[in-house]
Amino acid sequence: MQRVVISGTGLYTPSESISNDELVVAFNAYVQRFNEANADAIAQGTVSPLAESSSEFIQKASGIKSRYVMNKSGVIDPNRMFPHIPERADDELGIQAEIAVLSAREALAQAGKTPADVGAIIVACSNMQRAYPAVAIEVQQALGCGGFAYDMNVACSSATFGLQNAVDAIRSGSARCVLVISPEITSAHLEFRDRDCHFIFGDVATTMVVEAAETCTVDGAYEVLGTRLVTQFSNAIRNNFGFLNRCDESGVGTRDKLFRQEGRKVFKEVCPMVAEQIVAHSTSLNLNVNDLKRLWLHQANLSMNELIAKRVLGREFSRDDAPVILDEYANTSSAGSIIAFHKYRRDLAAGDVGVICSFGAGYSIGSVVVRRC
């Protein structure tokens, strides 16, 4: 079987960030206005009052301290509570393609590659800004790459699912070098007026350069030893936004057209599935869990990562074992595990083995076992 490596990664981080304190000030101002405007109905019991949030609540619930966003002013405006991202003309580079290109250029430079070396681009993320043409094809043109390009969506697991597709494309001979790009503008599908989730997401873009080992020219690449994907249907994480919404006017703009989840149910059901998959996947490759030097996990919730790492490794959680970036970046959907890999892979020695693992809506889980070359 042809050996395949991840030879470079890139990260685009927006310039604007929102702290928990800033988010809470805006949210609580909205809550106060809502409760005042609905005081009579609340007194009559026909409307439920909204509860305020706090930085302590957010950090205890998630481990998140801040998040990067494409637009800060719209999010923290109590009269708006969502980002302001102007539409662009069709002949302008779209905003999602723009951040994808920025992360891709860093990854290509790190891998010692040029756009001419790229034979395929996979844009894998939880939401695309339009139905068609594919954002990936727009990125392909902006970078000046040949070959083919397509979009794919498996929610928070998109990057690892895209990585398996890249590996398969190389082994089948469809391409020699593939970019897997995750441009996540998650602030646009978050309800910032919902106390249970208003703090969860942040914006970012990541890229992985995936290529045949024989064409890799840089030190510190990671060989892909194996990939494993699994899906199991669940409504516990859901977003009903789509092109059919306009066909039923009664549902336009309703709460279900943005991200929503049953957090406790997700925690209870997903954590055991993820831990079991990592252990089983490692065992199938004749690896013992003691051989795993690092887990680059999906960055959704600190308690989830602590529990998964403890179950897999059989010891107390350590940020060296499973690096954490969600405190700074929040949940960046499919990009989270790749940010962790991007920032915390260079200190491992040649021969060290780790697992990139994502999990989320679907349910979906993707695990990729890698070894430093």
Residue 62 lies in a domain: no
What is the average per-residue pLDDT within 139-167?
A: 98
Question: Which CATH number characterizes residue 317's domain?
Answer: 3.40.47.10
What would the pLDDT profile of 158-202 be if each residue is shown by its tens digit?
999 999 999 999 999 999 999 999 999 999 999 999 999 999 999
Strand runs labelled E in 146-202: 148-152, 177-185
- Which phi-psi region, left, alpha or beta, contains residue 253 (left: φ > 0; alpha: ψ -120 to 50)? left
Residue 93 exposed, middle or buried by CB count within 10 Å (0-12, 13-18, 19+): middle
Catalytic, out of 156, 197, 216, 271: 156
Residue 326 lies in a domain: yes
Mean pLDDT of the residues in the chain: 96
Length of the chain in terms of residues written: 373
For residues 193 and 135, the answer to whether their CB atoms sit within 8 Å is: no
What would the pLDDT profile of 38-85 be if each residue is shown by its tens digit?
999 999 999 999 999 999 999 999 999 999 999 999 999 999 999 999
Residue 316 reports pLDDT greater than 90: no
What is the average per-residue pLDDT within 97-123?
A: 98
For residues 358 and 334, the answer to whether their CB atoms sit within 8 Å is: yes
What is the average per-residue pLDDT within 89-99?
A: 98
- Specify the DSSP element, H or E, that contains 238: strand 237-238
Instruction: Report which of 132, 133, 136 is spatially closest to residue 124, judged by C-alpha positions.
Output: 136
| pTM for the whole structure | 0.96
What is the percent of the chain with per-residue pLDDT over 90, rounded to a whole number?
Answer: 97
Provide φ and ψ at 101, rounded to 5°: -65, -40
- The answer to whether 145 is a known catalytic residue is no
Sign of CA dihedral 93, 95, 97, 101: positive
Can you give the pLDDT at residue 1? 84
**Number of domains composing the chain:** 1
What is the average per-residue pLDDT within 287-299?
A: 95
Residue 324 reports pLDDT greater than 90: yes
What is the average per-residue pLDDT within 13-28?
A: 98
For residues 107 and 139, the answer to whether their CB atoms sit within 8 Å is: no
Residue 152 reports pLDDT greater than 90: yes
What would the pLDDT profile of 325-343 be if each residue is shown by its tens digit?
999 999 999 999 999 999 9
Strand pairing of 364-372 and 222-231? antiparallel
Residue 262 lies in a domain: yes
Residue 268 lies in a domain: yes
Count other Cβ atoms within 10 Å, centred on residue 327: 16
Residue 317 reports pLDDT greater than 90: no
- For residue 324, what are the domain limits? 223-372
Residue 96 lies in a domain: no
For residues 52 and 27, the answer to whether their CB atoms sit within 8 Å is: yes
Residue 333 lies in a domain: yes
Cα(326)–Cα(164) distance, rounded to whole angstroms?
24
Residue 74 lies in a domain: no
Q: Is 302 helix (H, G, I), strand (E, B) or coil?
A: helix
Residue 275 lies in a domain: yes
